[in-house]
Amino acid sequence: MRFAPLVLAVLALLPLQALSEEPPGAHAFGFTSIEGEALPLERFAGKAVLVVNTASRCGFTRQYGDLQALWERFRDRGLVVLGVPSNDFGGQEPGSEAEIKEFCEVNFSVDFPMTEKVRVRGAQAHPFYRWAETTLGPKATPRWNFHKYLVAPDGRLVTWFPTQTRPDAEAVIEAIEAHLPAAPAASG
């Protein structure tokens, strides 16, 4: 018992993360919104989040329409679609944030949250993307635009889908539905 104060003092000096075996979840990261405001992922705690790196001049750009439809279908049930513009692949997102936002709104009526343009690959990748690669392995790293990560309501990164998998594909819908927050009990 005489060592208890010493043990407590040592534990107090350790970062909380050192006491936990679990790495930080997605909620530990943040982006800047396309409008230039802070966009911490902890804002979406309790919701499923589909994080998609996007580009306006890509053969897969039509997926913006599918993402908007997914957002409209599931947002009231706890899904957030988060578009992350990136110019990493073929220079297919050369515009400014204002140009990207206007393109998405005019052509696809996008109103889901979007971030400022970031890197999603390599040493200069946004910390969320470096964490995702560490968490799910190098095979889960974006290889092109419209790569999708699904984050569970508790911040765990649960799966990913390659560019070619459309947002309305059965596998994506099933994964989203399996990770939507539980519906509140009906009162009655």
Catalytic residue ranges: 58
Helix (H, G, I), strand (E, B) or coil at 91: coil
Half-sphere exposure of 99 (CA within 13 A, CB side): 9
How does DSSP assign 27-51, residue by residue?
GG-EEEBTTS-EEEGGGGTTSEEEE
Helix (H, G, I), strand (E, B) or coil at 109: coil
Of the candidates 176, 179, 149, the one whose C-alpha atom is nearest the C-alpha of residue 162 is 149
| C-alpha angle 136-25-137 in degrees, rounded to nearest 5 | 10
- Report whether 49 contacts 151 (CB < 8 A): yes
